[in-house]
Amino acid sequence: MQKQLKNFARTALLSFGLAASVSAFAQNAICYNCPPEWADWASQIKAIKAKTGVTVPPDNKNSGQSLAQLVAEKASPVADVTYLGVTFAIQAQKEGVVAAYKPAGWNDIPDGLKDPQGNWFTIHTGTLGFMVNVDALKGKPVPKSWADLLKPEYKGLIGYLDPSSAFVGYVGAVAVNQARGGSLDNFGPGIDYFKALQKNEPIVPKQTAYARVLSGEIAILLDYDFNAYRAQYKDKANVQFVIPTEGTLVVPYVMSKVANAPNGNNANKVLDFVLSDEGQAIWANAYLRPVRAAAMPKEVQARFLPANEYARAKSVDYSKMAAVQKTFSDRYLKDVQ
């Protein structure tokens, strides 16, 4: 009898352990490209766990790697949600690896920053402008416009990432092209601008140049607002962010639910949370502009440029932007480099 009780107890414990393991797994949501060092995903993941009970393991893939893995796993998905640059999300939709889902807060997302069916939607944005190390200008005025950068006084002081290979570089090219009268069907004004800018001997790295701005090697960099604010408020550098007077571009960072997600309900909880007031405030505290403007804490909003400045930052047809990227790159390499 005693032996039977021991066997029963052992079986019960094993069953309990298996159930606990299954329960714990059931509270997971696998995210592709949720790196803790980028955009303060570390705080976001912690908050998701605290508020929803769902564990999101950190993941250091980039957008391209995430898309490649989603496509490879299409027949048997592993991920539940993914975080991508908008052009990669558009491609993911075309590949059929994401699913339509409209999370809480959907109606607060402006048109143009979401797929109408919910296959992807913006959670925060970055705005392309000038990240300016004021000290490195050595008394020269802070440039305010795309036209200013063509002035001889800024010779040797300007940097931009290679628009034929770096996405932020391409964003800059689209922004200046649009601002100077071009379109996604006509890159002539943008190409002409980069040709003219060569007279000022710009520095054109292929990778991020954040540290080179802080050191003063590059005084004016075409970059995102969140990098400039990070330099100003976290690294305490004498850096200003400028939205050019002629206009610029807003770049969305988006999330999607994975098609046939293994933990679909948990995926929904994660996507609902990142658009909640608390989730959006986490992005804001990392100096990324939350897509729901009402979620911006007042103390953080005070560190951003005023809303009337951001009114010059426009969206474009991001699907078209993705489709014409290679055409632009080929022309840039032919005509500018």
What tens-digit pLDDT sequence spans the chain (337 residues)? 444 444 444 444 343 343 333 334 459 999 999 988 677 888 999 999 999 999 999 998 877 788 889 999 999 999 999 998 888 899 899 999 999 999 999 999 988 889 999 999 999 989 999 999 999 999 999 999 999 999 999 999 999 988 887 778 889 999 999 999 999 999 999 999 999 999 999 999 876 788 899 999 999 999 989 889 988 998 899 999 999 999 999 889 899 999 999 999 999 999 999 999 999 989 988 888 899 977 777 888 889 899 899 999 998 988 899 899 889 989 999 999 7
Q: What whole-number distance in Å separates Cα of residue 272 and Cα of residue 284? A: 17
Cα atoms in the 13 Å half-sphere on the side-chain side of 246? 16
> Model's pTM, two decimal places?
0.72
- Taking residue 114's Cβ as centre, other Cβ atoms within 10 Å add up to 19
User: Which distant-in-sequence residues (6+ apart) come within 8 Å of 1 by Cβ?
Assistant: none
Which tokens in the block code for residue 234? Answer: 């976290």
Q: Give helix 41-52 / helix 277-285 axis angle, nearest 10°.
A: 160
Residue pair 28/57 in contact by the 8 Å Cβ criterion = yes
Residue count of the chain: 337
Residue pair 78/30 in contact by the 8 Å Cβ criterion = yes
Q: Which is it for the CA torsion 211, 214, 215, 217, positive or negative?
A: positive
Residues facing residue 159 across a β-bridge? 203, 221
Task: List domains and CATH numbers for the chain.
Answer: 30-125+251-310 (3.40.190.10), 126-250+314-335 (3.40.190.10)
